């Protein structure tokens, strides 16, 4: 059932738009009806059919395949608009075994429950920052969960953010993340000098080979550029305690970053004078200084288009650090050769799609409402800007009728700086931005 919520929600969001455009039945409506009819197709195939971009950008060799139950391939893009119930996130966690699969007793033993969790904050022995204090288990000063919540009473923040794996490309889930700014915990160590970077890691089965480490410049931790939320030690997702699969009891969440910066099952923060990144993720040729990109994707191709009849298409866009000004779509005959020297489809016949407004009811949150004092929302829970950076938006378009034949559909974003996708950062190892090409037939 859950997989269908994804398309159902999107259909609801796009329905008004298509009704106004004089289209009672949308391509997605048809796709959704097909999804819902009892079908013999294995769940995997159906998920793939609804997820063209996921199909084209599979996880790289080193990125573990999403585990557990079959989930919508574009879970993070689900409607309403966007908060994804914790259980519906896709999971790309590493670890043998993955820490959230450990029995409760073992999790208690290693500090992966709220009442046993301890965070050590240390100077890096190789490049030591000068600290007044370290927070250590040995001398009983490590931060515990009650101490973190105590800091939260004065400093807690919450913000909306899409969790996207740099290597998978399509979002894993949209969350309302809540926690204490990491800087509040850094300040507890009374740092004085030689502090240029912070690195941090979580529980990894006490096996150094399994350590998955990430890092940030200290400047990003101490100050928030422009109107970004702070880097947090997160303990709540969508208003509920962060569960073990999502990295609970405590994980880091870096608002503008891809998922690998948001370390789960956090146990250690290390303050260092090292001048460069030392992320585990760099070992896989990833660009570890890459903030979220803006890109658009189609949610369901116009599978049953009829000659001469308008064609409905719709999808979502991830809104990266450069914002989103519009989504465009282009349709060309499939057999028309592409001009040479145009790898980014700049010469395709682009037309504007419509960006859909913010929802009024935010399901997955208690009462369907944003809690007060959420970053980017006013006190009534209305977004201050739309679309919002670092989250998803939905879009829809009606294409004029076409003659029978085979066509290619593409969509792209124009970010708020005027860059057309996949620019300004077109390289794969800094995150997915490629324009997808979807063939469909008009009969």
List interacting residues with ligand MTE (CB under 6 A).
89, 91-94, 163, 165, 172-173, 202, 212, 246-247, 259-260, 262-265
Taking CB under 5 A as the binding criterion, the range among 211-219, 231-239, 249-257, 259-267 that sits at the site for Mo ion is 259-267
Nearest C-alpha neighbor of 363 from the set 1, 4, 5: 5
Q: Residue 252 binds which one of ligand MTE, Mo ion, none, with CB within 5 to 8 A depending on kind?
A: none
Residue 163 binds which of ligand MTE, Mo ion, none (CB < 5-8 A, kind-dependent): ligand MTE
Q: Smallest gap, in angstroms, from Cβ of residue 180 to Mo ion?
A: 24
Binding to Mo ion in span 208-247, by CB under 5 A: none
Q: Judge whether 216 and 410 are in contact, CB under 8 Å.
A: no
Can you read off the two tokens belonging to residue 87?
């259980």
Specify the residue, 195 or 252, whose C-beta has the smaller distance to ligand MTE: 252
Report CA dihedral (81, 85, 87, 91) to the nearest 10 degrees: 40
Q: Are 330 and 302 in contact (CB under 8 A)?
A: no
Q: Does 259 bind Mo ion (CB under 5 A)?
A: yes
Q: Among candidates 375, 161, 181, which has minimal Cα distance to 269?
A: 181
- Give the binding range for Mo ion (CB under 5 A) out of 106-114, 149-157, 255-263, 282-290: 255-263
Binding piece for Mo ion, criterion CB under 5 A, among 173-181, 257-265, 282-290, 411-419: 257-265
Pick 284 or 363: Cβ nearer Mo ion: 284
Query: How many Å apart are CA 294 and CA 415, to the nearest integer?
Result: 7
Q: If contact means CB under 5 to 8 A according to the sort of partner, which of Mo ion, ligand MTE, none does residue 202 touch?
A: ligand MTE
Residue 194 to residues 32, 130, 268, 273, 308: CA-CA distances in angstroms? 57, 6, 19, 5, 69
Contact between 274 and 124 (Cβ < 8 Å): yes
Query: Least distance to Mo ion from the beta carbon of 260, Å?
Result: 5
Is 431 a binding residue for Mo ion by CB under 5 A? The answer is no
Instruction: Give, to the nearest 10 degrees, the angle between helix 27-36 and helix 2-20.
Output: 150
Q: Given CA atoms 305, 330, 5, 99 in this order, what sign does their dihedral have?
A: positive
Q: Near Mo ion by CB under 5 A, which window of 254-262, 346-354, 405-413, 430-438?
A: 254-262
CB of 362 to Mo ion, least distance (A): 26
Question: Is 30:303 a contact under the CB 8 Å cutoff?
Answer: yes
Number of residues that bind Mo ion (CB under 5 A): 3
Q: Which of residues 139-178 bind Mo ion (CB under 5 A)?
A: 165
Chain residue at closest Cβ approach to ligand MTE: 259
Q: Residue 86 Cβ, how far from Mo ion at the closest point, in Å?
A: 18
SS3 of residue 288 by DSSP: coil
Q: Pick one of ligand MTE, Mo ion, none as the site partner of residue 23 (Cβ within 5 to 8 A by kind).
A: none
The residue number with the shortest CB distance to Mo ion is 165
* Least separation in angstroms between CB 212 and ligand MTE: 4
Q: Which is nearer to ligand MTE, 55 or 94 (CB)?
A: 94
Distance from C-alpha of 313 to C-alpha of 428, rounded to nearest angstrom = 26
Strand pairing partners for 181?
A: 232
Q: Rank residues 234 and 300 by Cβ distance to Mo ion and give the closer one.
A: 234
Nearer of residues 264 and 419 to ligand MTE, judged by Cβ: 264
Nearer to ligand MTE, 266 or 408 (CB): 266
- Please say which residue, 40 or 61, places its beta carbon nearer to Mo ion: 61
Q: What is the DSSP string of 344-409?
A: T-TTS--EE-EEPPPPSS-TTSGGGSPPSS-TTB-TTS-BSSSSPTTSEEEEEEEEPP--SEEEEE
Indicate the residue among 91 and 332 with the shorter CB distance to ligand MTE.
Answer: 91
- Please say whether the beta carbons of 324 and 417 come within 8 A: no
4 in Cβ contact with 36 (< 8 Å): yes
Q: Does 263 bind Mo ion (CB under 5 A)?
A: no
Residue closer to ligand MTE (CB basis): 195 or 390:
390
What is the rounded end-to-end Cα distance, in angstroms, of the chain?
31
Nearer residue to ligand MTE within complex by CB, 191 or 247: 247
Greatest alpha-carbon span in the chain: 76
Which chain residues interact with Mo ion by CB under 5 A?
Answer: 165, 259-260
């Amino acid at each position: 059932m859950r997989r269908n919520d994804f398309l159902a929600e999107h259909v609801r969001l796009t329905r008004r738009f298509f009704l106004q455009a004089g289209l009672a039945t949308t391509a997605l409506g048809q796709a959704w009806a097909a999804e819902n009819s009892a079908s013999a197709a294995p769940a995997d195939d159906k998920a793939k059919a609804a997820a063209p971009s996921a199909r084209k950008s599979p996880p790289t060799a080193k990125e573990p395949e999403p585990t557990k139950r079959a989930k919508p391939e574009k879970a993070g893009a689900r409607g309403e608009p966007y908060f994804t119930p914790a259980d519906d996130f896709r999971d790309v966690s590493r670890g043998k075994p993955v820490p959230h699969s450990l029995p409760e007793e073992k999790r208690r033993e290693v500090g992966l429950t709220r009442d046993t969790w301890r965070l050590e904050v240390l100077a890096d022995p190789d490049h030591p920052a000068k600290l007044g204090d370290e927070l250590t288990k040995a001398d009983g000063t490590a931060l515990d969960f009650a101490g973190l919540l105590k800091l939260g009473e004065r400093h807690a923040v919450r913000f909306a953010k899409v969790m996207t794996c740099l290597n998978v490309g399509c979002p894993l889930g949209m969350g309302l993340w809540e926690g204490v700014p990491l800087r509040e915990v850094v300040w507890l160590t009374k740092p004085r000098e030689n502090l240029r970077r912070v690195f941090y890691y979580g529980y990894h089965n006490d096996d150094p080979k399994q350590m998955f480490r990430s890092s940030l410049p200290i400047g990003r931790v101490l100050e928030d550029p422009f109107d970004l939320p702070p880097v947090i030690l997160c303990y709540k997702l969508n208003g509920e305690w962060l569960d073990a699969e999502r990295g609970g009891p405590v994980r880091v969440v870096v608002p503008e970053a891809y998922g690998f910066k948001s370390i789960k099952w956090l146990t250690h923060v290390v303050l260092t004078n090292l001048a460069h990144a030392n992320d585990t993720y760099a070992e896989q040729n990833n660009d570890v200084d890459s903030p979220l990109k803006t890109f658009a994707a189609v949610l369901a191709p116009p599978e049953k288009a009829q000659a001469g009849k308008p064609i409905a298409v719709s999808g979502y866009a991830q809104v990266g650090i450069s914002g989103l000004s519009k989504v465009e779509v282009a349709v060309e005959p499939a057999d028309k050769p592409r001009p040479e020297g145009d790898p980014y489809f700049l010469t395709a016949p682009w037309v504007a799609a419509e960006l859909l407004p913010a929802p009024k009811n935010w399901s997955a949150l208690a009462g369907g409402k944003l809690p007060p004092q959420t970053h980017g929302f006013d006190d009534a829970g209305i977004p201050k800007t739309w679309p919002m950076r670092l989250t998803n938006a939905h879009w829809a378009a009606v294409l004029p009728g076409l003659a029978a034949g085979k066509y290619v559909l593409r969509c792209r974003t124009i970010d708020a700086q005027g860059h057309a996708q996949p620019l300004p950062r077109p390289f794969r190892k800094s995150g997915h931005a490629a324009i997808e090409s979807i063939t469909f037939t008009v009969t």
